[in-house]
Chains A and B, each alone.
Chain A
């Protein structure tokens, strides 16, 4: 009788043990599922942030491309200007030394005429410095297209519409 009661008690203990394991498994699984759901929500939020970061990067790349193009354009314009100014300087040199021209001898031979030419050129050169310092171009300077209308000292900066012929 005692043996039977002991056996039943052991069986009850075993049952309780398995029930305990089962209950733990069910509760653990529930907690795990809840954690998975929470992780999933975080992953979704991360995905949205990553997508937004990628979009920002794309925008940055586009903006950088635009900047590079602008920098290249500005460099090109500056190089063109340097080239044109160099040509103005070469033209000035030509005016003094064209075909072995000697300004000194010319001034002795045609003093008044060379004096007049010198003063005219000096006034034009003075205007060139004003333009170079930022003085706005006059309408006459802007519209000059003929050789007789231009500032012969610096047509590249004084007469934007003049095309040398």
Chain B
């Protein structure tokens, strides 16, 4: 009887304190790729600027008529022309920055995907 009691006591005591096995979970689920195509680069038409002064105005309109073009012009003062040029330069700069930014993101994340 005492043997049985001792056995039960020892077994229960030794089973109380144990070392637990570590469980490390690692599950990687890749995000779906966006895969948007880059916009096609622009192909613009060249404009023709005509300068009209009080002295050459008649001659300019006459030339237009001779070329079969309606004798009508949209005008800008020299200051407005300057502003137009600067506005376009700013749009161009913004376009370049945005485009390069897009390239950098693509390069960074797609290279990462390739490495994986």
Residue B21 CB within 8 A of the other chain: yes
Size bracket, chain B contacts: 35 or more
- List, in ascending order, chain A residues with CB within 8 A of B86's CB: 89, 92-93
Q: Give the secondary structure class of B's interface.
A: helix
Q: Give the secondary structure class of A's interface.
A: helix
CA distance A114 to B56 in the complex (A): 14
Q: A129 near B42 (CB under 8 angstroms)?
A: yes
Report which of B14, B39, B95 forms a contact with A129, defined as CB distance below 8 A: B95
Binding site for B on A (CB under 8 A): 17, 20-21, 23-25, 27-28, 31-32, 35, 39, 42-43, 45-46, 49-50, 53, 70-71, 74, 77-78, 81-82, 85-86, 88-89, 92-93, 96, 102-104, 107-108, 111, 114-115, 118-119, 121-123, 125-126, 128-136, 153-154, 157
Binding site for A on B (CB under 8 A): 2-3, 6-7, 10-11, 14-15, 18-22, 24, 38-51, 53, 55-56, 77-79, 81-82, 85-86, 88-93, 95-97, 99-101, 104, 107-108
